Copies of this chain bind each other. A is one copy, B any other.
Amino acid sequence: MLNQTMVNPGSMRQPAPRFRAPLPIVRPQPSTNSIELMGAPMPFARNAEIYGENEPAEYLYKVISGTVRTYKVLNDGRRQIGFFYLPGDVFGLEVGDKHSFSAEAIADCKVLVIKRSSVIALAARQTDVSRQLWEMTATELRRVQDHIMLLIKTAQERVAGFLLEMAARTPGCTEIELPMSRQDIADYLGLTIETVSRTLTHLENTSAIAVPTSRRIVLRNRAALTRMNG
């Protein structure tokens, strides 16, 4: 039942820990050209909150470096991660005036912060901007639809799918550096850390992957992973 992190409702904002060398992830930046000209870059420390659920959605965001997680917490503390946003990804895009998820930096981040009202104002006059807004929202929609398909699968299928998804988002596609903890992965996949860990071990034993360090995964047999993805 309770397969997610239990979050203490009273202590959400954690102290920002010391700095760490940022991960060298560089990805093809989807062209959000005219919109991102309106933004200012801003640093966030590891575990810093970028915005909270139900806060007014005054800005939208684009990851420059680092990784961001969005999440929701149920009444009783179960946490569901919406997505891991890597450099180039846009998040915090809302049509209503409140954020539907919370957002936090997983590693230290640089994030482009763009004022929502000015984008919307510009969209009212420039067709391409309004089209970009629409496309970003639709990209997000597709992603969430895929996430639903993930959540109906078995543990093995979820983990295999997750690895393939992360690999597809990384330039050097055979070896991936995970910016997030096992707990984050578990909360994204709707599993427990134990199950994630066991499944990774099993994939390693069947030599579908190698795990040189816990944050680094080598895809040895992509066909096998694809096959078990469901």
Contacts and interface: CB of A to CB of B under 8 A. Distances in A.
Contacts of A18: none
A219 interface: no
B134 A144 contact: no
Nearest to A155: B1
Interface residues of A, number: 41
Contact of A3 (B74, B76, B152): B152
Nearest to A138: B95
A192 B147 CA distance: 20
A12 interface: no
Given A137-B138, A152-B80, A152-B151, A145 B145 contact: no
A132 B82 CA distance: 25
B72 A149 contact: yes
Interface string A115-139: 0000000011101001101110111
A58 interface: no
A154 interface: yes
Interface in A41-77: 72, 74-76
A144 B148 CA distance: 8
Nearest to A152: B190
A135 to B, nearest CB: 5
B147 A148 contact: yes
Interface string A85-117: 000000000111000110000000000000000
A130 B135 contact: no
A162 to B, nearest CB: 15
Contacts of A75: 230
